Amino acid sequence: MKRLSNGAIVKIPLNFDLGYSLVRFEKYDKIDPNVTLPEGIRLLSFNEDQLNTDTFLCEPLLLGGIREALRKHGWENLGVLNKDMISEELPLFKGGCETEEDLENGDWYVFEKVSLSYKSKTEYDRVKFLQPFVAYGTGSIEFKFTLLYLIIEGIDLEKYYDLNDASFRWELRELLMSPPIIPEWDSLFSVLIKKHPELVKPFLI
């Protein structure tokens, strides 16, 4: 197996054989050995032919482990394609409002230095696009990226999901509360509201 290096591009399969997502693997403990969670990924593209290593679709997600996925779950290490784009800065993450009921309180936090020791209260608008300070497993990441892919491509979610399923509703909630950084998101969000107001409106802030 090819050595997994900081800045490597990893190919992650989407659910339902819909294709792949391409991410950049990041080792935060290479920047600061005192981080709470050492590894993350940035989503770059859903199309290998249009891969641009200096842009990304959403803020970094933290990993709960990647090597098992590379060995047994079809994740593929493509290696470092652009050494100039290896980040030397630690990203920010957010926390707060973990349940629908908590949304009424409006308590949000920003985590700096990828550490639980650097947590401060903030407002949602300042952390809207940041990802939660949570280490995600293989299945959750594949679910998240598949859901985002379907929304971007305008594919009906009912074709692949039971909209009343608790796992689906949780992943959709996380996507809506931590949206991608793409110019067309506002229009995609408007389409979601029209199609599925019962799913989307509880998370409008």
76 vs 70: CA distance, rounded Å? 6
Q: What is the pLDDT of residue 100?
A: 57
Q: Which residue has the tokens 């799913």?
A: 199
Beta bridge partners of 108: 122
Q: Are 34 and 109 in contact (CB under 8 A)?
A: no
Q: What is the pLDDT of residue 99?
A: 57
Residue ranges in the chain whose pLDDT is less than 50: none
Q: What is the pLDDT of residue 197?
A: 85
Nearest C-alpha neighbor of 170 from the set 110, 94, 98, 64: 98
Q: What is the pLDDT of residue 114?
A: 96
Q: What is the pLDDT of residue 1?
A: 56
111 vs 31: CA distance, rounded Å? 16
